[in-house]
Amino acid sequence: MSKQERSTQFSKALMEVRSMVLDGSFPVGERLSETAVAEQLDVSRTPLRQALDRLIDEGLLERIETGGCRVASFSFDDIVDAIELRGVMEGTAARVAAERGVSVEKETECRQLLIKLDDAVFGADELDFSSYVSLNERFHELLTEMSGSKIIKREVERIARLPLASPSAFLDGQTSIPNFHASLKIAQAQHRAIFDAICRREGARAEALAREHARLARHNFDYVLNINPRLAERVPGMALVAS
Amino acid sequence: MSKQERSTQFSKALMEVRSMVLDGSFPVGERLSETAVAEQLDVSRTPLRQALDRLIDEGLLERIETGGCRVASFSFDDIVDAIELRGVMEGTAARVAAERGVSVEKETECRQLLIKLDDAVFGADELDFSSYVSLNERFHELLTEMSGSKIIKREVERIARLPLASPSAFLDGQTSIPNFHASLKIAQAQHRAIFDAICRREGARAEALAREHARLARHNFDYVLNINPRLAERVPGMALVAS
DNA sequence: GTTGAAATTATTGTATACAAAAATGTGTAT
DNA sequence: ATACACATTTTTGTATACAATAATTTCAAC
């Protein structure tokens, strides 16, 4: 973040390569040539290699034993596990928030955020998708912050960067999922329940609810992969899932 | 790992800088000069910067807004949170192992390992510390492997690399902790209970036990920091804890 | 003595050159 | 035709050079 403002070349390489990998621009499993990619992005090899190291760390690329790296491939189970872990981590953030208490400011912000989310989901107007997505992202970020722990926040967000594990991984361009609007209502009810549990200092309930909340993503993943695969190309990262 | 065999300069820089940071060789908070460190380690800046990036990612260093990096400092609560997270992650590995079942080979290996650990802790001979440490490390690694998920294994181990969060962070050179041998016996009883829960497919119990097991580290941390600070210099990473 | 601005120094981020090692291609022997 | 060894060509890992930016010092003004 702070680095992404300053360091143009590295952050450019990071963002571009990441989105190309998620888009499936590189064939899964094929070694990617540093010189070729560097030339393609108009960046020297030094910041590119920095970006590749980072993407290896994120798990999107994997190192080849003899040198260089390739696009990683993920099994169905891998994605399920990543989503499960995100649920576990958000559950921990929620539990810790409940156990240790939340600052008045965060509580107030969350309360107002939930009203806006209610409005977006249950309101009379037609659903504004992109605003829902950003509100949802803010809710999940706020959840990590309510834990009051910078380490928990950092590690939850790291897990959420695993492929298809983020809270909004299946939210883009998916209006065609049946009962999708209905599932957003369920999600919002869960948001409220999690917040309620935190306010009541009910740690175990908050944790269980947050875990269950993450399973909505698992359900969407299952749908996209097994029932309606033509949606796959609209979901970034789906190209990495071995079919 | 695979990279550490091949790439001598990078891995050399990584290991040396990491251990220097943990030893407190660099003053906490002070910016570390790339050229100076590179010269000191007899390595060029390129692999050194790679190592620094990695250590930033691990959380041992933090980026300075204007460029470069400094040694990170951790509060008491930060360490407590890191240990908590390790417990949560190992708990997840244990629960998943219980829920999904464990391969015969892993189960057999774990059974034999537990016998060796019993021998080390409860045996007639005097405790062989270094062999206990490596057996204990293998048990925790095996726990992640019993989950059957490479993603869970990878992320558990990543969390365990947080400062003072590893299962053996407080095991070295601490024979002077009162009742230390007794606490090893408790730990071993917990190892057995976790394994028992996994074999019986009791996921919730396995998870709870693994979490509680991690709290032994928290207890040791509390002891070293608040009751017997002269032990601190023997524990790598303790130099990073703000006093 | 303190403050502020300009100049100097040091440090980082990036590009590139180079050497070692891996991948590829060629030719020969069987 | 296939397998194996050797030579060639890429490709990676490392060192270093360079430019832009940040830190520091110096010096003057108040």
Nearest nt to the CA of B9 via C1' is: D14
* Statement: residue B3 has pLDDT above 70: no
Confidence of residue A172 (pLDDT cuts 50, 70, 90): confident
pTM: 0.93
- Domains of chain A plus CATH, in order, are 3-71 (1.10.10.10), 76-237 (1.20.120.530)
Read off the pLDDT of residues A65-88 as tens digits, 9 standing for 90 and up.
Answer: 888 899 999 999 999 999 999 999
Confidence of residue B2 (pLDDT cuts 50, 70, 90): very low
Beta carbons of B46 and A50 less than 8 Å apart = no
Residue B7's pLDDT is 59
Residue to mutate among A53, A88, A241, with most B CBs inside 10 A, is A88
For B88, the closest of A3, A88, A150 (CB atoms) is A88
* Statement: residue B151 has pLDDT above 50: yes
The more confident residue out of B58 and B174 is: B58
* Statement: residue B179 has pLDDT above 80: no
Query: Distance (Å) from CA A29 to C1' C24?
Result: 19
Average pLDDT over residues A87-109: 98
Average pLDDT over residues A6-17: 87
Region of residue B28 (phi > 0: left; psi between -120 and 50: alpha; otherwise: beta): beta
**Of all residues in chain A, what percent carry a pLDDT higher than 90?**
75
Pick the closest to residue A16 from A41, A43, A46, A50 (CA basis): A41
Instruction: Identify all chain B residues contacting A49, using CB atoms and an 8 Å cutoff.
Output: 50
**CA A77/CA A93 separation, integer angstroms:** 24
Read off the pLDDT of residues A16-75 as tens digits, 9 standing for 90 and up.
Answer: 999 999 999 999 988 999 999 999 999 999 999 999 999 999 999 999 988 889 999 999
* Statement: residue B92 has pLDDT above 50: yes
Residue A151's pLDDT is 97
* Statement: residue A182 has pLDDT above 90: no
Average pLDDT over residues A161-188: 84
Confidence of residue B175 (pLDDT cuts 50, 70, 90): low
Q: How many CB pairs under 8 A join A and B?
A: 68
Instruction: Identify all chain B residues contacting A63, using CB atoms and an 8 Å cutoff.
Output: 2-3
- HSE-up of A140 (CA within 13 Å, CB side)? 26
Return the H-helix or E-strand segment holding B109. Answer: helix B104-122
**CA A117/CA A82 separation, integer angstroms:** 26
**Of all residues in chain A, what percent carry a pLDDT higher than 70?**
93
Residue A2's pLDDT is 41
**CA A70/CA A81 separation, integer angstroms:** 22
CA torsion sign, B93 to B95 to B98 to B99?
negative
Beta carbons of B151 and A162 less than 8 Å apart = yes
**Of all residues in chain B, what percent carry a pLDDT higher than 90?**
75
Instruction: Identify all chain A residues contacting B2, using CB atoms and an 8 Å cutoff.
Output: 63, 65
Interface of B with A in 107-166 (CB under 8 A): 149-152, 154-155, 158-159, 162
Interface of B with A in 66-85 (CB under 8 A): 67, 77-78, 81-82, 84-85
Residue B1's pLDDT is 40
Average pLDDT over residues A190-197: 98
Read off the pLDDT of residues A116-142 as tens digits, 9 standing for 90 and up.
Answer: 999 998 886 776 788 899 999 999 999
Distance from CA of A223 to the nearest CA of B (A): 22
* Statement: residue B81 has pLDDT above 70: yes
Residue A30's pLDDT is 86
**DSSP readout, A11-70?**
HHHHHHHHHHHHHT-SPTT-B--HHHHHHHHT--HHHHHHHHHHHHHHTSEEE-TTSSEE
Read off the pLDDT of residues B30-48 as tens digits, 9 standing for 90 and up.
Answer: 899 999 999 999 999 999 9
Beta carbons of B50 and A50 less than 8 Å apart = yes
The more confident residue out of B55 and A176 is: B55
* Statement: residue A5 has pLDDT above 60: no
The more confident residue out of A229 and A243 is: A229
Instruction: Identify all chain A residues contacting B158, using CB atoms and an 8 Å cutoff.
Output: 158
For A85, the closest of B57, B65, B152 (CB atoms) is B152
Instruction: Identify all chain A residues contacting B96, using CB atoms and an 8 Å cutoff.
Output: 81, 84
Distance from CA of B32 to the nearest CA of A (A): 17
Per the document, the length of chain A is: 243
The more confident residue out of A166 and B6 is: A166
Nearest nt to the CA of A47 via C1' is: C14
Residue B47's pLDDT is 96
**CA B105/CA B116 separation, integer angstroms:** 17
